[in-house]
Structure 1
């Protein structure tokens, strides 16, 4: 019991909690479900809408910021489907988009 308590205390002090980290793999699942009708969400996808930028183009913008994107995704946007994503989902989706940046 002491070892468990010590371990949990050290995690809290260090501020590292795996459950708080964004899950880009879940973000990929969400992108496939909600976004690929308009956006090119991965290198494997060949076609999206001419009206929506690819995720790679979004992530490559100099002003790209995961936190701002996650916040933006919480609010309904007229040109986007009403996805009703949770805060965790928006962070996961933003982390996935960040990973699409052209290298």
Structure 2
């Protein structure tokens, strides 16, 4: 039975937090949580002039995806409390990183 479970696990795959973040899910989360202030995509027309766009965050020379994910987990006075899980924060950070490549 254990061998069968291991075989199925290898065939189907198991979601594990240490695997690559999901930028597609990060886009969905960003549009829900971040788009009221940040420009999170090229097709978005409205945002605040007081906060950087995701593209400008990604273009910074010191941009670090892990640091952004950690930043998103901590409460910040100017940002609403989102109560993101670690993987959600990683997904949003991965989505921000993709903005540099566009």
Q: Same fold (TM over 0.5)?
A: yes
Backbone CA RMSD of aligned residues: 2.1
Q: What does residue 52 of structure 2 align with?
A: 53
Matches within 5 A, 1:2-81: 5=6, 19=16, 20-81=19-80
Unaligned runs of 5+ residues in structure 2 are none
Unaligned runs of 5+ residues in structure 1 are 10-16
**TM-score (norm: length of structure 2):** 0.83
1:46 offset after TM fit, Å? 1.3
Matches within 5 A, 1:79-94: 79-94=78-93
Partners of 1:29 and 1:83 lie apart in 2 by: 14
Partners of 1:102 and 1:46 lie apart in 2 by: 20
Partners of 1:37 and 1:8 lie apart in 2 by: 40
Could you list the structure 1 runs, at least 4 aligned residues long, displaced by more than 3 angstroms after superposition. 1-9
Q: How many residues align?
A: 97
